[in-house]
Structure 1
Amino acid sequence: MADDQRWQMRIGEVAERTGLSLRAIRHYEDAGIAAPSARTKGGFRLYTATDVERLLLVARMGSLGFTVDEVRGLLELTDRLAAPDAPPPGEERERLRTRLAAYRAAVEARCETLRLRLRGAEELSAFLRGRLDPVG
């Protein structure tokens, strides 16, 4: 983690590396789901590698249509499971893992929906391509 804390980027660098807009990054911060680890004396946001990973996770969930509350729930869950100083005890850990499995199932279902939509789009594209190509 100490190495992570030394590696810091400003919001513009994070946007460039992740493909997220400045507006999206600020929105995630305002929503309380992906804040920078620090700020400069001048108030500029400073992001670590861990912060960037979290932003990417949030963005991926957003692109799959998860709500901010659902994103927050998953982040709290994964944070709790990964807590090095106070890992959850056995029964609680299993409950958290069950909730994590439910998130995974929801993601898989959304991926399948996207696969079906993509297949339909590819079929439409092939149909249109066939109408443009001369009959040979």
Structure 2
Amino acid sequence: MTERQMQIGEVAERTGLSLRTIRHDEQVGLAAPSARSKGGFRLYTEAHTERLTAIGRMKPLGFFLEETRELLDITDKLKATDTTGKERESLRERLESYRRVVDARCETLRARLETAEDFASALCRPFPTGS
């Protein structure tokens, strides 16, 4: 049984990413399609959709291209069955380091959101009338 393949429009809808973003991620080597149709359309599998979703989740956290690439490489290698015990331990340590960075960046985003919500709330308060 062959794995179901989706065109870029369906992948965009499922991931919440724009067609432009998906094409850009392909261009910079983060997520290439698994194949192309006879008509030249990009085709993606479920695994590609999951990878693009992960990339999309990293973007608001401000990861640079090389950080995104390294984090994807770490997770790919951890999923691989031929990764040795010593290499696996090193990968887990690197992943933990990224987890700490993600936690810190999430905390920063929460603080920024709180500031934005305070501002929005202030705009809802009545302003004194001048007279």
- TM-score between the two structures when normalised by the length of structure 1: 0.87
Q: CA deviation at 1:133?
A: 9.6
The answer for the alignment partner of 1:28 in structure 2 is 25
CA RMSD of aligned residues (A): 1.7
Distance 1:39 1:122, change over 3 A: same
Unaligned runs of 5+ in 1: none
Mapped partners of 1:20, 1:122: distance in 2: 25
Per-residue CA deviations over 1:19-75 (Å, capped at 9, x if unaligned) read 211110000001111111111122211111110010011111122110111111011
Which one-letter code corresponds to 1:77 in the other structure?
I
Task: Please state whether the residue corresponding to 1:76 is helix, strand or coil.
Answer: helix
1:100 matches 2:95: yes
What secondary structure does 1:6 align onto?
Answer: coil
1:91 aligned to 2:86?
yes
The reply to whether residue 52 of structure 1 matches residue 49 of structure 2 is yes
Query: Within the alignment, does 1:121 sit opposite 2:123 as a pair?
Result: no
1:99 aligned partner, one-letter code = R
SS in 1 for 2:62: coil
1:37 pairs, out of 34, 51, 72, with 34
- How far apart, in 2, do the equivalents of 1:132 and 1:35 lie? 53
CA shift digits 1:56-115 (9 cap, x unpaired): 11111122110111111011111111003x1x2222111110000011111111100010
Residue correspondences, number: 129
Instruction: Give unmatched runs, 5+ long, in structure 2.
Output: none
Identity %: 57
Deviation digits for residues 103-130 of structure 1 (CA, Å, limit 9, x no counterpart): 1111111100010001111111222212
Cα pair distance change 1:75/1:133, threshold 3 Å: farther
Match of 1:80 in 2: 77
Counterpart of 1:66 (choices 63, 66, 71) is: 63
Return the letter of the residue paired with 2:55: V
Over 3 Å counting, the alpha-carbon distance change for 1:132 and 1:93 in structure 2 is same
